[in-house]
Amino acid sequence: MIISIQQVVKRYADHLALNQIDLEIPRGKIFGLLGPNGAGKTSLIRIINQITAPDSGRVLFNEEELNPSHIERIGYLPEERGLYKKMKVGEQLLYLAQLKGMSKSHATEELKKWFIKFDIKDWWNKPVEDLSKGMQQKTQFISTIVHQPELLILDEPFSGFDPINANLLKEEILELKERGTTIIFSTHRMDSVEELCDNVALINHAEVVLKGEKHQIQNDFKKNEYLISFDGNLLNGDSYEIVKMNQNTANIRLKEESTVNQVLAEIMHQVDVKGFNEIIPGFDQIFIEVVSNSNS
Amino acid sequence: MHKILLIIQREYFTRIQKKSFWIASILTPLLITGIYAIPIWLATRDKEIKKVEFLDQSGLFTNESLQSKEVQFELVKGNEESLKKNFLRTDFEALVIVPKDILTQPKTVRIYAEKSISLILQSRIEGIIQDRLRKELLAHAGIQKEAYDKTQVDVSGDTIILSNEGDEKESNSGGIMILAGILGFILYMTVLIYGSQVMNGVIEEKSSRIIEVMVSSVKPIQLMLGKIIGVGLVGLTQFLLWAILTFSFSNVAKVMYGNDLKKEVQSQMVKTAIDKNGKKSTSEDQNADINPLKVVEEVKNSVNIPLLVGCFLFFYFFGYLLYSSLFAAIGSAAESAAEAQQFTFPVTIPIIISFFLAQFTIQEPDSTIAFWASIIPFTSPINMIVRLPYGVPVYELILSMVLLIAGFLGTSWLSARIYRVGILMYGKKLTWKDLSKWLFYKN
């Protein structure tokens, strides 16, 4: 575990932001931190970044109590992003890299690699305010990862990215994972969760309401429903019931103790089966279901 | 520590790379040199002798009684109307007509001219007529002119400062007052200017949203102190540039009209030497007594310059630190300069009050009010620097310095607590109550 959060409580003047949070973030994985706005995601991220401290509870980084020396091993892309507008791109990135503990020469060397990789060599001496929004986001992303952090925390990384840059970012994230970086990924965009995350935790009203391995959660939320496509006329059967009927497809739910084989046998008598697939619940649904359950 | 240095570096270099910094650095010394040099230059220039026509209808004036170094009077005779008619065709500066009954009606002298004559010329004309009339009136009253002259004593005192070592140093109260005023004013301006630069810097970080990236790399207190110190060093650099440039500009100015100036100074030295020998000085000579070079020389002699410079830098730096940390706290609570406005008032008020107190301190540097104003941390930087040229007991100076450092530690502690909460607070209209609550937040 790269991060282990134990019984963390954070209270602000007028509300409880985090209530007895327990979370384990496994090394080398992409961890999705999900939750509605105001659930406590940013509070938790700020605690891991040591921007604020918890009122009680502990946070361990590589089995060590979180301390200032860990700051240099973490990269953080906040949701609200920004750079010094008047500063030149190269100067600014050097400055931020040095604040993360890199030497000037090492930082220059690494930055040059990124400038070549992103094909932005001629930006070095441009002031940030002359860059387009997409260019600024690339710059910001480089500043987050140039010091080769073990842990990368991305808060809503895709917000404001155009599809091309979003795709570039996605590829970079996967590449970083390949190289062993752990990534915490806070978002409410569920499509990117399904695509990228290995593990997820869902926070609602300052509490963790769901956590686990992505496929496991999806399995847990399966409703025993299947999508069939067919030719002919399909009716309810003994082993299943129809949930939703379309032109040539239908969603069916298996009755308890029925097996897929029984259902198939029953259907094959009625129609010409073209396809048969289990319906894996999307995180959209899981999210809505869990949040509305925990709210009520 | 290393990170604070990086922050100081950035704050410092981004500011001194700005054009506005260099414009201010160069224009101010030019202005100072100008204020100092132009009057001297004019004085050395404007030496042509003015010619004046003088129609005496009273019969009191002769060529002897109209002798003057600066004005050449020419007694003319004739009809007033024709003189007036012809005046514009002559090269006289003015036409003076003294009426018959001047002794009983001394305010009826008429001066005609093509355009308004200078105040100096007017007073010279009036002076010479006045002298003559006085002599006449004295004679009428049976008083000898010599007896009257003897009563016209001219008292002038030089303050001489005695020290325990028995040294005597000539002082110049007027010059010291000017020096104190200039130092106080510079301090007042710079604390305000650089304090608000700190505030704007914090607002910029907050509104551009880089702040969250920054505090994920450094502690808020490091960021705050780094910014304050960086901007403070910009101020010190500016002082240094001002000093060097003012010095070199004035030297250039001296070289440019060096000879004229030397003569002028010498002639004035001669005059003052005559004064010292006990001879009566005329009213004209008294004006010439204020010689800027002599004043500077006397002030230099009576003031401990290294101490003054050292104290000035000290009081600038800590006075600035004290106020700028408060400005930083205010900046952290605002998202725009306009929003910060409502909070700046309580911080600028003490600065303005200390400037007003300084007007008083400069006149009564040893009064109780001046003492307290120069001891209490919020008003002490400006008021102590104003008192210093007059001489301040060492224990008062040390007390003031210690309290100022303590005051800075206090305000920066206070500010840091507001700052660390404020910088991450968005989208909320803040009140003083909120700010005071933040003081007691846990990290």
Chain B interface test: which of A50, A80, A93, A143 (most B C-beta within 10 Å): A80
Chain B interface test: which of A84, A93, A102, A140 (most B C-beta within 10 Å): A84
Q: Which of B3, B210, B437 sits opposite A83 (nearest CB)?
A: B210
Chain B window 13-32: which residues touch A at a Cβ cutoff of 8 Å?
14
Per-residue pLDDT, B397: 93
Per-residue pLDDT, B267: 57
pLDDT per residue as tens digits for the range B183-215: 888 889 888 999 999 999 999 998 888 998 998
Name chain B contacts of A100, Cβ cutoff 8 Å.
217
Per-residue pLDDT, A177: 93
**B27 or B273, which is more confident?**
B27
Residue of A nearest to B437 (CA): A13
CA distance B234 to chain A (A): 18
Per-residue pLDDT, A192: 81
pLDDT at A242 over 60: yes
Size of interface A-B (CB pairs under 8 A): 60
Interface of A to B at Cβ within 8 Å reads 13, 46, 49-53, 55, 68, 71, 74, 76, 78, 80-87, 95-96, 98-100, 140, 143
Per-residue pLDDT, A113: 92
pLDDT per residue as tens digits for the range B315-372: 999 999 999 999 999 999 888 888 888 888 888 899 999 999 998 888 888 888 999 9
pLDDT at B260 over 70: no
Per-residue pLDDT, A164: 84
Chain A interface test: which of B216, B223, B433, B434 (most A C-beta within 10 Å): B216
Per-residue pLDDT, B268: 54
pLDDT at A119 over 70: yes
The answer to whether B437 contacts A71, with C-beta atoms less than 8 Å apart, is: no
The verdict on B431 touching A (C-beta cutoff 8 Å) is no
**A30 or B209, which is more confident?**
A30
Sheet harboring A3-11: ordered strands across? Answer: A16-25, A3-11, A56-61, A64-65
> In degrees rounded to 5, what are phi and psi of residue B377?
-50, -40
pLDDT per residue as tens digits for the range B103-116: 888 888 888 888 77
Tokens standing for B397? 């100076």
The answer to whether B213 contacts A143, with C-beta atoms less than 8 Å apart, is: yes
Per-residue pLDDT, B319: 93
In chain B, the percentage of residues whose pLDDT exceeds 70 is 84
Q: Which of B3, B14, B443 sits opposite A99 (nearest CB)?
A: B3
Per-residue pLDDT, B232: 93
**B268 or B210, which is more confident?**
B210
pLDDT per residue as tens digits for the range B271-324: 555 554 544 444 444 444 455 666 667 777 777 788 888 999 999 999 999 999
Per-residue pLDDT, B281: 43
The answer to whether A81 contacts B209, with C-beta atoms less than 8 Å apart, is: yes
List the one residue out of B121, B64, B432, B50 whose CA is nearest residue B284: B121
Per-residue pLDDT, B168: 60
> Strand pairing partners for A6?
A58
Angle value at C-alpha A49, between A48 and A52, nearest 5 degrees: 85
pLDDT per residue as tens digits for the range A84-100: 988 999 999 999 999 99
Tokens standing for B372? 């307290």
pLDDT per residue as tens digits for the range A157-203: 888 788 888 888 899 999 999 999 999 999 888 888 888 899 999 99
Name chain B contacts of A78, Cβ cutoff 8 Å.
209, 212-213, 216
The verdict on B208 touching A (C-beta cutoff 8 Å) is yes
Mean pLDDT over B72-78 rounds to 84
Pairing of strands A249-254, A240-245: antiparallel
CA distance B289 to chain A (A): 54
Per-residue pLDDT, B270: 54
Residue reference for tokens 């900046």: B331
pLDDT at A39 over 90: no
Q: What is the DSSP string of B191-249?
A: HHHHHHHHHHHHHHHHHTT-HHHHHTTS-HHHHHHHHHHHHHHHHHHHHHHHHHHHHHH
Tokens standing for A22? 């327990």
CB-neighbour burial class of residue B23 (10 A; exposed 0-12, middle 13-18, buried 19+): exposed
Q: Kindly report which listed range (A164-168, B2-6, B74-78, B146-150) carries the lowest average pLDDT score.
A: B146-150
Per-residue pLDDT, B289: 46
B349-356 contacts at long range (C-beta below 8 A, 24 or more positions apart):
B350/B378, B350/B379, B351/B188, B351/B191, B351/B192, B351/B195, B351/B323, B351/B382, B353/B379, B354/B188, B354/B378, B354/B379, B354/B380, B354/B381, B354/B382, B354/B383, B355/B184, B355/B185, B355/B188, B355/B382
> Strand pairing partners for B170?
B160
The answer to whether A46 contacts B424, with C-beta atoms less than 8 Å apart, is: yes
